[in-house]
């Protein structure tokens, strides 16, 4: 799978919680946690996200300008 590097700022407490999961063997590293979390988020919110983007497109079509 092709990947792209991104930079993110995380609250210290959140990173500490991630490190506990990593140290307990639940994940390989922070990258593994973030990829899994984003994948699950997108899988569970896909219908809501699609509706949001469709509404944006409709709004642009009705009122937008090029």
What is the value of pTM for the model shown? Answer: 0.62
In a domain, 45, yes or no: yes
Q: How many domains does the chain have?
A: 1
The H or E element that residue 44 is part of is helix 30-63
**Of 34, 27, 40, the residue nearest 6 (C-alpha):** 34
C-alpha 53: how far from chain center: 16
Instruction: Round the CA-based radius of gyration of the chain to a whole number and report it.
Output: 17
Residue 51 lies in a domain: yes
The answer on pLDDT for 66 being more than 60 is no
Residue-wise pLDDT for 22-55, tens only, equals: 999 999 999 999 999 999 988 887 777 777 778 7
């Amino acid at each position: 799978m092709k990947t792209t590097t991104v930079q993110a700022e995380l609250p210290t407490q959140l990173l500490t919680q991630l490190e506990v999961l990593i140290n307990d063997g639940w994940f390989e590293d922070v990258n593994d946690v973030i990829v899994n979390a984003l994948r699950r988020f997108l899988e569970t919110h896909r219908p809501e996200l699609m509706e949001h983007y469709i509404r944006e497109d409709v709004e642009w079509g009705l009122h937008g300008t090029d």
